[in-house]
């Protein structure tokens, strides 16, 4: 798995995209045609100073406001159930999804450092990060369309590809990137 380093500008854009300071952000998995982050790569496990921890089962996080809104609309129309039906009835799609899930879990494991591995072993958390894409243990249930699209944009996910094709997911139109306003690069209206 490859991803780009997070620049200071990226960090500022992401903070505005998700409306908070990102936690566990380690890279940018995809960018739009304007160069803005669309997919974030996050640490699978955050260990806090006081020994507390937080598990992030969502390795790839969709941050693009336009895409998040479009996919939320698709979810509200019941597309999750449609996708689950496809998974239940299509053995080939299930097999491709299982392969994508294995790749996802390998990438997640690869991002764990020695300190995280020791912490997992010490606290008996071996299964905390082995539940599949987005932390769900099922080959026929879909947790969230956003995470599947993020996974597809960063690497490969057949469910994400179906969603992208369904809504004809595209970048913002020329001269109108939502995230330009986060960087101060948006075109100025002249009166």
Query: pLDDT tens for residues 33-50?
Result: 999 999 999 999 888 877
Residue 187's pLDDT is what? 43
- Cβ atoms of 152 and 160 closer than 8 Å: yes
Residue 134's pLDDT is what? 76
Q: Is the pLDDT of residue 188 over 60?
A: no
Q: Is the pLDDT of residue 54 over 90?
A: no
Which regions of the chain does DSSP assign to beta strands (E)?
25-31, 37-42, 45-47, 53-55, 60-62
Domain assignments of the chain as residue spans, ordered by start? 8-179
Residue 123's pLDDT is what? 85
């Amino acid at each position: 798995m490859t991803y780009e380093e997070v620049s200071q500008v990226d960090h500022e854009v992401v903070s505005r995209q998700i409306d908070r300071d990102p936690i566990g952000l380690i890279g940018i998995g995809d960018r739009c045609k304007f160069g803005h982050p669309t997919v974030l790569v996050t640490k699978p496990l955050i260990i806090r100073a006081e020994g507390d921890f937080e598990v992030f089962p969502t390795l790839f996080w969709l941050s693009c406001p336009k895409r998040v809104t479009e996919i939320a609309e698709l979810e509200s129309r019941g597309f999750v159930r449609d996708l689950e039906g496809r998974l239940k009835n299509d053995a080939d799609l299930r097999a491709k999804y299982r392969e994508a899930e294995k790749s996802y879990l390998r990438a997640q494991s690869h991002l764990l450092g020695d300190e995280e591995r020791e912490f997992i072993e010490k606290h008996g958390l071996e299964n905390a990060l082995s539940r599949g894409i987005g932390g769900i243990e099922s080959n026929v249930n879909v947790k969230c369309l956003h995470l599947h699209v993020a996974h597809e944009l960063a690497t490969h996910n057949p469910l994400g590809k179906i969603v992208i094709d369904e809504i004809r997911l595209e970048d913002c139109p020329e001269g109108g990137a939502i995230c330009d306003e986060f960087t101060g690069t948006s075109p100025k209206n002249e009166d």
